Amino acid sequence: MKQPELWNSSISQEQWLSQIVQRNDLVYIKRLSSNDTGLTGGHQSGIYIPESVTRQVCPSIIRTDEQNPDQLLRAEVPSHDVPTKEVRFVYYNDKAFSGSRDEQRITRWKQGVNYTPLQDPEMTGALALFAFLLPAEGGDVVSLSVWVCDSEAEESFIETKLGSILPGESVCQPAHLLFDGVVSLPGAYPVDIDIPEAWLSMFPSGGELIDYVIERFSFSDLGADKRLLKRREMEYAIFLEVEKAHVQETIEAGFASVEEFIQTANSISNRRKARSGRSLEYHLEKIFVEEGLGNVYSAQCITEVNKRPDFIFPGCAEYQDKSYPMEKLAMLAVKTTCKDRWRQIINEADRIKSPYLFTLQEGVSENQFNEMAGESVRLVAPEPLHGKYPEAVRKQLLSLADFIQEIKMLYQ
């Protein structure tokens, strides 16, 4: 059988997307985690691929009749001109042999090349697209091409089409559905709820969704960090249910014209972006109120030259009052990912020299953290994510509970 051609090097992101759509590869999209890139130095090696995706692209390795079954395949990373090389798709099934590992990974990315973004700790948090070429008759993947977004512009281009891909989330769909169709968002855990009747005719705002989550599933027995993550997970699950109620019937019925299809797709994409754009800030506001900070913050203050930091403590009035002590002012910026975005916050509030940055990114490299520290940025991440950061970073990383305590002490 003649080997299929992979992609030419030095092509643009749009050209690459056009090619995978033409071939209709199965595309798996996620943000690179600290375990993927080797940031935390754990025993894991290579890119983690969930079992649900592995069963679609390399089903022959999902078995336990031998230890760690694998398949070799050709792969390349044209986003960074990494040439075609052989990688290993392996199922670490040690759990079936009295071990502990039970996961699938694609390894050997560094063998024979000087550099690959897939094993670069500095690329932790980057959006990565894995395009699997599958044989028409079914079976294991024939070849793999990977695009790792290297800039905020490249990520925005993808997320404009799909909606935000947050750390820990992923999408897996045929290329033509992802980039020429109406994309199904990755599923969350199922929820047994009765959607409010009003939401069936009018899509709820982000604030309404979050209020509903807190009313029905408060998670009040959890600390601030776990409470935030659980509520976001539940909000996302409910959002999917409401979206399905609004669009499933329309999609299944088909479209009378290209214009009608485009209008529906754009409406879905815009709603997803709107939901993700302010969701994290809304959740944090609710936590602040519950933790006794309701009277010592303002959201979206206007500071210098119409800049709008996410949160100013103790408030806008104090910030605008030039006689108010600078050492009593604090700022919290909110970024779901911070790899290429953290520098945006440095000049959002000129009176505050050491801003806090809250993120959901699953790890940053020591170099990135040191750059932040050099600009006096203090990084805050939910405590359950701290294990995904290098040990040297963890010692200086704040949890949400830590941040709340520091703000309380500032205004005692």
DSSP-assigned letter for residue 257: S
What are 146's strand-pairing partners? 130
Q: What residue type is 186 in one-letter code?
A: P
Name which CATH class applies to 13-180. mainly beta
Residue 50 CA to residue 59 CA, distance in Å, equals 12
Q: What is the pLDDT of residue 167?
A: 86
377 CB burial (10 A radius; 0-12, 13-18, 19+): buried
- What does each C-alpha distance from 234 to 18, 228, 247, 284 come to in angstroms? 35, 10, 20, 15
* Residues ≥6 apart with Cβ < 8 Å to 162: 29, 171, 178, 183, 269, 272
Decide yes or no: CATH 3.40.91.80 for domain 298-410: yes
Q: What residue type is 310 in one-letter code?
A: D
Instruction: Return per-residue pLDDT of the chain as tens, 412 residues.
Output: 344 444 445 788 888 988 898 888 999 999 999 889 988 775 457 999 999 999 999 999 999 999 999 999 999 999 999 989 999 999 999 999 988 899 999 999 998 898 999 999 999 999 999 999 999 888 999 999 999 998 888 888 888 777 778 888 888 988 888 876 554 555 555 566 778 889 988 888 888 989 999 998 889 899 999 999 999 888 888 888 888 887 776 666 666 666 766 666 667 766 776 666 688 999 999 999 999 999 999 999 999 888 999 999 999 999 999 999 999 999 999 998 888 789 999 999 999 999 999 999 888 889 999 999 999 999 999 999 999 898 899 999 999 999 999 999 998 7
Neighbouring C-beta atoms of residue 45, cutoff 10 Å? 18
213 CB burial (10 A radius; 0-12, 13-18, 19+): buried
Q: Using an 8 Å Cβ cutoff, are 173 and 27 in contact?
A: yes
Q: What is the pLDDT of residue 181?
A: 54
Q: What is the pLDDT of residue 265?
A: 67
Is residue 319 flagged as an active site residue? yes
Locate the domains of the chain by residue range: 13-180, 203-281, 298-410
Residue 49 CA to residue 40 CA, distance in Å, equals 18
Given 28, 91, 297, 319, the catalytic residue = 319
Helix (H) or strand (E) holding 371: helix 366-374
Which of 269-284 are b and which e, b meaning 16 or more Cβ less than 10 Å from the residue's Cβ?
Answer: bebbeebbebbbbbbb
Q: What is the pLDDT of residue 274?
A: 65
